[in-house]
Structure 1
Amino acid sequence: MPFIISTVNVNGVRAATGKTGKGMLEWLEATEADVICIQETRATDAQTRAALAPALDAGWYLAHAEPGMKGRAGVGILSRREPLAVRTGFGSAEFDGVGRYVEADFDELTVASVYVHTGEADTPLQDEKYRFLNELGAHLTSRTRDFVICGDWNVAHTELDIKNWKGNVKNAGFLPGERAWVDGILAAGYVDVVRDLHPGVPGPYSWWSYRGRAYDNDAGWRIDYHLARGEVASRAKQAIVERADTYALRWSDHAPVTVQYR
């Protein structure tokens, strides 16, 4: 049977679930995903569970790493069956308590949800982002199980992953050091499965600014990745971005990125 994993930055779980008609709860009712990685819950564990109560009552399980600072970060994993084990953080004294990483075991597969800092070029915020990436990279390369890590990486890897790449070469999200970090993870055996299934084409983008007509013009960034390692990487057979039909129907500034594994 196929195994389907989605990832989406919800841009505040209470706001996303509070939208009626075509909000996050309606999407959860319709999705065929088995596991969903979410980022930027921006809520305590209790608040997140209250916002997702209809989905949890319907049978979804939630593993959640709540934010270390009010209104910032927070990541989770929703699954149709209870994980065998859940771990928040990756052994970092600096970052384990800030709500940017959670992983869960499902039989032979581990799925992780990550939210990488936005950063800001030539500031301490960018230094913090690089420290996080370096520690995360060490954790990822130490994994031995089949592994899929999904999330908002806040890094566009190549020129194909950002519409206006020429205007962003000096901006966080498209800096040489960030892109080189992705190169290193791929060299260590991880596969960017969405790019693998959409080779040589712009996008498919997964984030668009709320400002201007970025969404209508598809002037976006591809920053929401599935990186897979082990046998599972070769089993990815379809990848789609679940882009809303119109700007008005969006419930986040990101769209879910969904991959079906054989």
Structure 2
Amino acid sequence: MRIITLNANGIRSAESKGFFKWMLLQNADIICIQETKAQLYQLKPELFCPTGYYCFYHDAEKKGYSGVALFSKKQPDKIIRGIGWPDIDAEGRFIEAQFGKLSVISLYLPSGTSGADRQQIKFKFMDRFLPYLQECAQSGRDYIICGDWNIAHKEIDLKNWRGNQKNSGFLPEERVWLTQLFASNHWLDAFRLLNQEAEQYTWWSNRGQAWKKNVGWRIDYQIISASLKDKVSAVSIYKDERFSDHAPLIMDYDYELGSNADNASAKVPEL
């Protein structure tokens, strides 16, 4: 089972840079997208729900802002749009697809980079999300939570860690929060199970030639329930082409999602 996650920084922008052509060559079972920055009516089905996939979007109420999507070769048993928190759901930050015992989530955790108010919103989300994840861990389901978590966990996860300790995304409180999550033994950073190397970044600022110099951050994750620890078989970050200021994070799992007898055909993204 191959799962790809990408913060597209505008799905229409990513499409114009060749993302969907590349995506169709990857033989991925599930693709999770964050920051679609579009309303469903603005997207042409033939471009934004490619042949072979069932496509699901959860838009922000504000135009040109946030939004998540999930594409799947197999039709999910259930789709859940939103986490059940009106303030977060209005920003289109959560969509879950259930396949038997497995839940795959496309998550766009709030960023605090635009100012103190947004940082407080981020902290409040984190305060609520940890108990939510604890409930998920006790549910007996398998989880793969894909997306832009907007936090670099350790010093190895960003180039200039010394100069960013007071900046959103690498604040001590944020890093401790992730440490607490992983220390519970219920959740794992799937990428680091197989790759412990430095300079494994998924996001680069558009300033100061950060991409060219590889001055990046690893803030995109596939965080998995402990039950899947031995199922991660390959991990990679795709950087040969650039579709966004983020890079696609690709992971393979030794996990049977099941076959879809009626091949998904191009269709209008479901409302």
Task: Please point out which of 90, 98, 105 is paired with 2:91.
Answer: 98
Shift of 1:47: 2.3
Q: Which SS does the other structure have where 1:179 is aligned?
A: helix
- What does residue 218 of structure 1 align with? 214
Matches within 5 A, 1:222-233: 222-233=218-229
For structure 2, the residue ranges without an aligned partner over 5 or more in a row are 255-271
Superposed CA offset, 1:207-237 (max 9, x none): 1122222112211100000100042232001
The one-letter code sitting in structure 1 at the alignment partner of 2:239 is R
May I ask how many residue pairs the two structures share in their alignment?
250
C-alpha contact 1:121 1:170 (8 A) present in aligned 2: no
Matches within 5 A, 1:236-251: 236-244=232-240, 249-251=241-243
For structure 1, the residue ranges without an aligned partner over 5 or more in a row are none
Q: Which SS does the other structure have where 2:198 is aligned?
A: coil
CA distance in 2 between partners of 1:69 and 1:132 (Å): 19
CA distance in 1 between partners of 2:65 and 2:125 (Å): 16
CA distance in 2 between partners of 1:57 and 1:115 (Å): 22
Q: Which SS does the other structure have where 1:172 is aligned?
A: coil
CA distance in 2 between partners of 1:46 and 1:232 (Å): 37
- What does residue 132 of structure 1 align with? 125
TM-score w.r.t. the length of structure 2 is 0.88
Higher relative contact order (CA 8 A, sep 6+): 2
Task: Please point out which of 32, 36, 39 is paired with 1:37.
Answer: 32
Task: Please point out which of 90, 100, 114 is paired with 1:107.
Answer: 100
Q: 1:148 to 1:101 in 2, by over 3 A?
A: same
Are positions 1:252 and 2:221 aligned together?
no
Q: Which SS does the other structure have where 2:214 is aligned?
A: coil
Are positions 1:141 and 2:137 aligned together?
no
Q: 1:12 to 1:228 in 2, by over 3 A?
A: same
Alpha carbon RMSD of aligned pairs, Å? 1.6
C-alpha contact 2:188 2:226 (8 A) present in aligned 1: no
Matches within 5 A, 1:156-171: 156-171=152-167
CA distance in 1 between partners of 2:217 and 2:226 (Å): 27
CA distance in 2 between partners of 1:136 and 1:69 (Å): 23
Shift of 1:195: 1.3
C-alpha contact 1:90 1:136 (8 A) present in aligned 2: no
Are positions 1:195 and 2:189 aligned together?
no
- What does residue 266 of structure 2 align with? none
- What does residue 208 of structure 1 align with? 204
Task: Please point out which of 74, 87, 94 is paired with 2:80.
Answer: 87
Shift of 1:181: 1.2
Superposed CA offset, 1:104-131 (max 9, x none): 1012210001111220387111100011
The one-letter code sitting in structure 2 at the alignment partner of 1:151 is G
